[in-house]
Amino acid sequence: MRLCIVIAFVLGNIASSYAQSGRTPLTTPSGTPILSSTGTPVFAPSSSASTVPYTNIAQLDSGFMQKTYGDAAKRIIAHALKDSVAYARLQYMCDTFGSRLSGSQNLERAIDWLLQTMKTDGHENVRGEDVKVPAWVRGEESCAMVSPRPYTMSMLGLGGSIATPAGGITAEVLVVRDFAELTRRAAEAKGKIVLYNVPFTRYGATVRYRSEGAIRAAEVGAVASLVRAVASYSMRTPHTGGMRYQDSIPKIPHAAISTEDADIVARMTERGEKVKVRLTMSAQTLPDATSRNVIAELKGREKPEEIVVMGGHIDSWDVGTGALDDAGGCYATWKALQILKELGLRPRRTIRLALWTNEENGLRGGIDYAERHKNEKHILAFESDGGIFKPQGFGFTGIPELFKVYTAAATLLHPIQSAEVKVGGGGADISPLIAQSIPQMNIEIEGSKYFWFHHTQADTPDKIDPLDLNKCAAAIAVMMYVAADLP
Ligand SMILES: [Zn+2]
């Protein structure tokens, strides 16, 4: 989840000043702060800015939903559960093209195949919209303990990091549990490798050490920094992800090690042993490359100029095959569009599928989409980017009147236990649309295992249950159809 390289550190300060204004900054489902394209916190669209796209909103209660959309919902759910074409296609894409990091040929080949397949399926206005994206490449890397004993660690460099000198950096490790301890022990950090041994709590909280750890360590004279993998469970699986630098502070290499390896180093230092580590990285940031947002539509029958946009991000990190993050979100929304087309359910307004590029390390796809389509009338933006597990309902950010309408619509999803709507929703790629006061929605899933596999080599199709994918697609298809069709 790119948003994690958000400028959380800056956010902390800005958010507190906004908190005094009584408005709360928005967060993604995993609690990570949502920032606008300029890095400032984003708040729920104020009721004055958002308009209600529906007439007689008071009548749009659960009774109305059952009477008007009950049959359509039953047909959508039945159709969604009848086959696993979407899952087979997800497997095919992950197996055939592999990981899809921005700037990679893998990603562009996958996008070519998606565009061709959607055209063959007969979707409308299928196109790729060019987006300039950063091109970071990992290269060879390793991390090994050299004393008190030789021991090869399980590591992954963090996206955006610089390389070490050719022979690597060998230094003593200073283990800290948080930024406060680093500040307290700043004098000990000079010339050392700082290890942030921070156990996973909430993604939004723990990820700060990954995103800004190199800045804080360099500030106190460290030569490199390591983070305990941002993982809620581990089988010695390191988790990669984005990190960032600050212009005024020297850049140092930054990598993640598995939680088990962080524990070994921490226990040794707690016993008073000096631990020395050699970190070797050969990462590079190449000139920007061109990627594309993948777009396909189901044109509205009455108000085609009004748009419900739904999607996920098609890029991934360069490890594993980005199945949960975020091929699952892409295929659940793609299948939702497919279901409506196959059932001949054409709503009043246009439903647009957008598979955004570069979510993980730049958000350029989401930012480009918001800019390129700013003169169009979007009534709702939806993203699935929290993995695909058993659906439970939706998260929604927008005015209370719309919250009530979508809560009533969700009652159609009791048959698949997905009728819950909670306050607070959104996603990284749709967050740039908040500045245009477009209501935000995401799907809520039983995601307790998401951060077992997130940004690891283990993010592969077998981590998705095909039935969960179909149920997520059913829930999304019903909600998007109703949102796009209400009078
Ligand atoms: Zn993601």
Please pick, among 359, 360, 383, 444, the residue that the annotation labels catalytic. 359
The pLDDT value given to residue 37? 45
Distance 314 CA to ligand 1 centre (A): 9
The average confidence (pLDDT) of the chain is 92
Residues with Cβ < 8 Å from 58, sequence gap 6 or more?
A: none
What class is the 139-282 domain? Answer: alpha beta
Q: How confident is the model at residue 15 (pLDDT cuts 50, 70, 90)?
A: very low
The pLDDT value given to residue 49? 52
* pLDDT above 90: percentage of residues in the chain: 89
Distance 386 CA to ligand 1 centre (A): 7
The pLDDT value given to residue 243? 98
Evaluate whether 7-134+287-485 and 139-282 have a shared fold.
no
Give one word for 322, left, alpha or beta, with left for phi > 0 and alpha for psi -120 to 50. left
Distance 210 CA to ligand 1 centre (A): 16
Residue 220, pLDDT > 80, answer yes
| CB burial readout 112-127, b (16+ within 10 A) else e | eebbeebeeeebeebe
* pLDDT single digits (tens) 357-371: 999 999 999 999 999
The pLDDT value given to residue 52? 87
CATH architecture of 7-134+287-485: 3-Layer(aba) Sandwich (3.40)
Which of 29-38, 157-166, 309-318, 369-378 has the weakest average pLDDT?
29-38
* pLDDT single digits (tens) 95-122: 999 999 999 999 999 999 999 999 999 9
Residue 13, pLDDT > 60, answer no
The pLDDT value given to residue 149? 98
Distance 68 CA to ligand 1 centre (A): 35
Residue 325's Cβ-count burial label (10 Å; 0-12, 13-18, 19+) is buried
Which of 32-46, 161-175, 338-352, 429-443 has the weakest average pLDDT?
32-46
Which residues are near ligand 1, the ion (C-beta closer than 5 Å)?
Answer: 1, 325-326, 385
Q: How confident is the model at residue 51 (pLDDT cuts 50, 70, 90)?
A: confident
The pLDDT value given to residue 25? 54
Distance 359 CA to ligand 1 centre (A): 7
- pTM value is 0.91
* pLDDT single digits (tens) 223-257: 999 999 999 999 999 999 999 999 999 999 999 99
Residues with Cβ < 8 Å from 261, sequence gap 6 or more?
A: 153, 154, 155, 236
Distance 385 CA to ligand 1 centre (A): 5
Give the mean pLDDT of 155-167: 98
Taken in order 296, 411, 427, 453, is the CA torsion positive or negative?
A: negative
Pairing of strands 303-313, 349-356: parallel
Q: Are 237 and 457 in contact (CB under 8 A)?
A: yes
Active site residue 141: no
Per domain, the residue ranges of the chain are 7-134+287-485, 139-282
Reading the block at residue 177, the tokens are 């549990």
Q: How confident is the model at residue 26 (pLDDT cuts 50, 70, 90)?
A: low
